[in-house]
Amino acid sequence: MTPDDFKERFKSLKLTITALIVVFMMILGFAGLLIYDPQFFEENISKNTETITQGTDESGFIEGNYKMLVVANCTACHSSKLVTQNRASKEGWKNMIRWMQETQNLWDLGENEEKILEYLSKHYAPEGQGRRASLKVEAWYALDN
């Protein structure tokens, strides 16, 4: 081993040890905070959770008829946030379901589809303007190079 190799390995070892010390100090800091004020984390977590989920439960969906049916069918494939961030009419939700069935292998919802549509269109209906309307292209034209 040459002196340069030794210096390079020593540098790498110093960085690793420094990183471990920093992590260890952070752990000690959190442990000290927990010992000093054991309810600190619990209080802050519950405050944030109340703010985020007001009117909902841990599923993230608004309480209402057929909510659990929606939770069971929608969150089997994706996060509840993907549903709750959207707004649509009953027809709009039905179109989204059809798109998922045609392109994403969503199963046939059968008699549950109407209940799911009722819940979604009631609790996640359009509010105000929402997204801008799609642009309508009247005529296409060629770009000059």
Per-residue pLDDT of the chain (145 residues; tens, 9 = 90+): 788 887 888 888 888 898 889 888 888 777 776 676 656 556 555 544 443 444 567 788 999 999 999 999 999 999 999 999 999 999 999 999 999 999 999 999 999 999 999 999 999 998 876 566 777 888 888 888 7
**Fold adopted by 57-123:** Cytochrome Bc1 Complex; Chain D, domain 2 (1.10.760)
Question: What radius of gyration, in Å, describes the C-alpha atoms of the chain?
Answer: 27
Entry pTM: 0.52
Domain ranges of the chain: 3-51, 57-123
Res 115: pLDDT = 95
From CA 109, how far away is CA 119, in angstroms rounded? 14
d(CA 42, CA 3): 53
Distance CA 57, CA 49 (A): 10
Per DSSP, what are the bridge partners of residue 56?
62
